Amino acid sequence: MEREYRATNVKGTVKNKAGQQCPADDAIIKSITDGWAADAFEDEHCDANKCRCTLGPWPALWTVLEKNVTYAAAWTDMLCKADVTITYDWECRERAAPCYRKAPTTGKG
C-alpha cells in the first residue's frame, strides 16, 4: 500500500522578508507544501523475501481530507527568513495490492 498527500488550492502570503537572496514568494510556499507531501507519504510493502505483489497505477481522483486549512509559521533558510501564511485543501490518494506468498524453495524432508 502506498498513500500520497498534497496541498491544493493554495493561497499563500509571505511577509516580513529579511536577509539576502530571498527566494520568490511562490518558491517559499512551494518548498513548504512539497515538504508536507514528502513527510506525509506512506508506504507499507510486502517482505520481498516472503511475498510478491505488484502495485497498480495511481488513481486519477484525490480524496479531500480537510478544506480551507490555515497554516502560519516563520520560514527560514541560511540566508533569508519570512512570515508565511498558507490556506489550502489537504488531499490524498492511495494504491494497494494484495501480497501473495512465494512458493517454498526449501524445507524439511
CB-facing half-sphere around the CA of 10: CA atoms within 13 A: 24
Rounded Cα distance between 47 and 44, Å, is 9
Q: In tens digits, what is the pLDDT along the chain, a chain of 109 residues?
A: 999 999 999 999 999 999 988 999 999 999 999 999 999 999 888 888 888 888 889 999 999 999 999 999 999 999 999 999 999 999 999 999 888 888 888 777 5
pTM above 0.75, yes or no: yes
